[in-house]
Protein backbone atom coordinates (compact mmCIF):
# COMPACT_ATOMS: atom_id res chain seq x y z
CA UNK A 1 0.00 0.00 0.00
CA UNK A 2 2.99 2.31 0.39
CA UNK A 3 3.54 4.81 -2.45
CA UNK A 4 0.11 4.09 -3.90
CA UNK A 5 -0.30 7.79 -4.76
CA UNK A 6 3.09 7.85 -6.49
CA UNK A 7 2.21 4.78 -8.56
CA UNK A 8 -1.12 6.30 -9.54
CA UNK A 9 0.55 9.62 -10.49
CA UNK A 10 3.15 7.74 -12.56
CA UNK A 11 0.41 5.91 -14.50
CA UNK A 12 -1.56 9.14 -15.00
CA UNK A 13 1.53 10.90 -16.31
CA UNK A 14 2.31 8.07 -18.74
CA UNK A 15 -1.27 8.20 -20.08
CA UNK A 16 -1.18 11.99 -20.29
CA UNK A 17 2.15 12.12 -22.12
CA UNK A 18 0.96 9.43 -24.55
CA UNK A 19 -2.19 11.45 -25.23
CA UNK A 20 -0.16 14.57 -25.98
CA UNK A 21 2.17 12.57 -28.22
CA UNK A 22 -0.81 11.20 -30.17
CA UNK A 23 -2.18 14.72 -30.65
CA UNK A 24 1.20 15.92 -31.94
CA UNK A 25 1.52 12.96 -34.31
CA UNK A 26 -2.05 13.44 -35.56
CA UNK A 27 -1.46 17.13 -36.32
CA UNK A 28 1.78 16.35 -38.15
CA UNK A 29 0.16 13.56 -40.18
CA UNK A 30 -2.76 15.80 -41.12
CA UNK A 31 -0.38 18.56 -42.19
CA UNK A 32 1.85 16.25 -44.21
CA UNK A 33 -1.01 14.39 -45.89
CA UNK A 34 -3.09 17.40 -46.81
CA UNK A 35 -0.48 20.09 -47.37
CA UNK A 36 2.30 18.04 -48.93
CA UNK A 37 0.37 15.41 -50.81
CA UNK A 38 -2.96 16.96 -51.74
CA UNK A 39 -1.91 20.60 -52.11
CA UNK A 40 1.61 19.77 -53.33
CA UNK A 41 1.47 22.34 -56.14
CA UNK A 42 1.33 25.21 -53.62
CA UNK A 43 3.87 23.70 -51.20
CA UNK A 44 6.86 26.07 -51.03
CA UNK A 45 10.02 26.49 -49.00
CA UNK A 46 8.01 28.56 -46.52
CA UNK A 47 5.96 25.48 -45.70
CA UNK A 48 9.17 23.54 -45.02
CA UNK A 49 10.25 26.28 -42.61
CA UNK A 50 6.80 26.15 -41.01
CA UNK A 51 7.13 22.40 -40.55
CA UNK A 52 10.53 22.84 -38.88
CA UNK A 53 9.23 25.66 -36.64
CA UNK A 54 6.21 23.66 -35.52
CA UNK A 55 8.39 20.60 -34.95
CA UNK A 56 10.61 22.65 -32.64
CA UNK A 57 7.54 24.18 -30.99
CA UNK A 58 6.36 20.64 -30.26
CA UNK A 59 9.72 19.19 -29.26
CA UNK A 60 10.84 21.76 -26.68
CA UNK A 61 7.64 21.89 -24.56
CA UNK A 62 7.12 18.13 -24.88
CA UNK A 63 10.63 17.46 -23.56
CA UNK A 64 10.05 19.86 -20.67
CA UNK A 65 6.78 18.12 -19.82
CA UNK A 66 8.46 14.71 -20.09
CA UNK A 67 11.13 15.80 -17.61
CA UNK A 68 8.46 17.10 -15.25
CA UNK A 69 6.40 13.91 -15.56
CA UNK A 70 9.30 11.51 -15.06
CA UNK A 71 9.18 9.61 -11.76
CA UNK A 72 12.08 9.49 -9.33
CA UNK A 73 13.41 6.27 -7.85
CA UNK A 74 15.55 5.41 -4.83
CA UNK A 75 18.90 3.69 -5.26
CA UNK A 76 17.29 0.32 -4.57
CA UNK A 77 14.73 0.91 -7.36
CA UNK A 78 11.80 1.86 -5.12
CA UNK A 79 9.46 4.52 -6.52
CA UNK A 80 9.84 7.72 -4.52
CA UNK A 81 7.82 10.19 -6.54
CA UNK A 82 5.44 9.65 -9.43
CA UNK A 83 6.40 12.91 -11.14
CA UNK A 84 4.81 16.32 -11.40
CA UNK A 85 1.01 16.60 -11.49
CA UNK A 86 0.25 17.44 -15.12
CA UNK A 87 -3.18 18.87 -14.30
CA UNK A 88 -1.80 21.85 -12.40
CA UNK A 89 -1.38 25.30 -13.84
CA UNK A 90 1.70 27.47 -13.93
CA UNK A 91 4.58 26.49 -16.18
CA UNK A 92 3.01 23.11 -16.90
CA UNK A 93 -0.17 24.79 -18.11
CA UNK A 94 1.79 27.24 -20.26
CA UNK A 95 3.70 24.37 -21.90
CA UNK A 96 0.41 22.67 -22.69
CA UNK A 97 -0.88 25.92 -24.16
CA UNK A 98 2.16 26.19 -26.44
CA UNK A 99 1.58 22.65 -27.69
CA UNK A 100 -2.14 23.24 -28.31
CA UNK A 101 -1.55 26.59 -30.02
CA UNK A 102 1.05 24.90 -32.22
CA UNK A 103 -1.47 22.19 -33.14
CA UNK A 104 -4.00 24.85 -34.07
CA UNK A 105 -1.50 26.86 -36.12
CA UNK A 106 -0.17 23.83 -37.94
CA UNK A 107 -3.55 22.43 -38.92
CA UNK A 108 -5.10 25.78 -39.79
CA UNK A 109 -2.07 26.84 -41.84
CA UNK A 110 -3.28 24.28 -44.36
CA UNK A 111 -6.19 26.62 -45.08
CA UNK A 112 -4.31 29.93 -44.98
CA UNK A 113 -0.85 31.19 -44.14
CA UNK A 114 -2.43 34.00 -42.12
CA UNK A 115 -2.93 31.58 -39.22
CA UNK A 116 0.80 31.83 -38.49
CA UNK A 117 0.02 35.18 -36.87
CA UNK A 118 -1.70 33.22 -34.12
CA UNK A 119 1.78 32.46 -32.76
CA UNK A 120 1.92 36.12 -31.68
CA UNK A 121 -0.47 35.18 -28.88
CA UNK A 122 2.37 33.44 -27.01
CA UNK A 123 4.78 36.42 -26.71
CA UNK A 124 1.83 38.78 -26.17
CA UNK A 125 0.67 36.70 -23.22
CA UNK A 126 4.23 36.59 -21.87
CA UNK A 127 4.54 40.36 -22.21
CA UNK A 128 1.21 40.84 -20.43
CA UNK A 129 2.32 38.75 -17.45
CA UNK A 130 5.80 40.31 -17.45
CA UNK A 131 4.33 43.79 -17.32
CA UNK A 132 2.38 42.90 -14.19
CA UNK A 133 5.58 41.57 -12.62
CA UNK A 134 7.74 44.51 -13.69
CA UNK A 135 5.13 47.07 -12.61
CA UNK A 136 5.76 46.09 -8.99
CA UNK A 137 9.40 47.20 -9.25
CA UNK A 138 8.65 50.59 -10.79
CA UNK A 139 8.40 53.63 -8.48
CA UNK A 140 4.79 54.03 -7.39
CA UNK A 141 3.88 50.96 -9.41
CA UNK A 142 2.26 48.36 -7.24
CA UNK A 143 2.19 49.94 -3.76
CA UNK A 144 -0.30 52.70 -4.46
CA UNK A 145 -3.33 52.85 -2.21
CA UNK A 146 -6.61 53.18 -4.10
CA UNK A 147 -8.39 56.52 -3.76
CA UNK A 148 -11.02 56.46 -1.04
CA UNK A 149 -13.72 59.12 -0.85
CA UNK A 150 -15.16 60.48 2.39
CA UNK A 151 -18.28 58.32 2.39
CA UNK A 152 -16.35 55.08 1.84
CA UNK A 153 -13.77 56.05 4.49
CA UNK A 154 -16.49 56.70 7.11
CA UNK A 155 -18.22 53.43 6.28
CA UNK A 156 -14.94 51.51 6.60
CA UNK A 157 -14.14 53.18 9.94
CA UNK A 158 -17.62 52.37 11.24
CA UNK A 159 -17.23 48.71 10.26
CA UNK A 160 -13.76 48.56 11.86
CA UNK A 161 -15.12 50.11 15.05
CA UNK A 162 -18.01 47.63 15.11
CA UNK A 163 -15.64 44.71 14.52
CA UNK A 164 -13.34 45.77 17.35
CA UNK A 165 -16.13 45.77 19.97
CA UNK A 166 -16.14 42.78 22.28
CA UNK A 167 -18.73 40.21 21.46
CA UNK A 168 -20.90 38.89 24.24
CA UNK A 169 -22.60 35.56 24.05
CA UNK A 170 -25.91 35.40 25.80
CA UNK A 171 -26.50 32.20 27.64
CA UNK A 172 -29.43 30.96 29.57
CA UNK A 173 -29.17 30.56 33.28
CA UNK A 174 -31.07 27.78 34.88
Rounded to 5 degrees, what are φ and ψ at 81?
-140, 140
Residue 53, domain extent: 4-137
Condensed to tens digits (0 to 9), the pLDDT of residues 58-90 reads: 999 999 999 998 888 888 888 888 888 888 888
- Residue 88 resides in a domain: yes
- Residue 63 resides in a domain: yes
Rounded to 5 degrees, what are φ and ψ at 153?
-60, -45
Domains: count for the chain: 1
Condensed to tens digits (0 to 9), the pLDDT of residues 3-52 reads: 788 888 889 989 999 999 999 999 999 998 998 888 888 888 888 888 89
Distance CA 17, CA 14 (A): 5
- Residue 101 resides in a domain: yes
**Is residue 109 within 8 Å of 27, Cβ to Cβ?**
no
Whether residue 133 has pLDDT greater than 80: no
CA angle 146, 150, 151 (to 5 degrees): 105
172/70: higher pLDDT = 70
Distance CA 156, CA 60 (A): 52
- Residue 153 resides in a domain: no
Question: What is the model's pTM?
Answer: 0.71
Alpha helices (H) in 114-164, listed in sequence order = 121-135, 150-164
Side-chain-side CA neighbours of 77 within 13 Å: the count stands at 0
- Residue 147 resides in a domain: no
**Is residue 102 within 8 Å of 58, Cβ to Cβ?**
yes
- Residue 156 resides in a domain: no
Q: Is 66 exposed, middle or buried (0-12, 13-18, 19+ CB in 10 A)?
A: middle
- Residue 78 resides in a domain: yes
- Residue 162's pLDDT band (cuts 50, 70, 90): confident
Amino acid sequence: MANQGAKKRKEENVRHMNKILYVIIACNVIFVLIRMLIFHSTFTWKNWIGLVVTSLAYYIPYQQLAKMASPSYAEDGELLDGGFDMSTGGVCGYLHDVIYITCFVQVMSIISGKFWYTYLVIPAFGAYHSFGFIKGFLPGGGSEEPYEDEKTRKKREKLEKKASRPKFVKSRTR
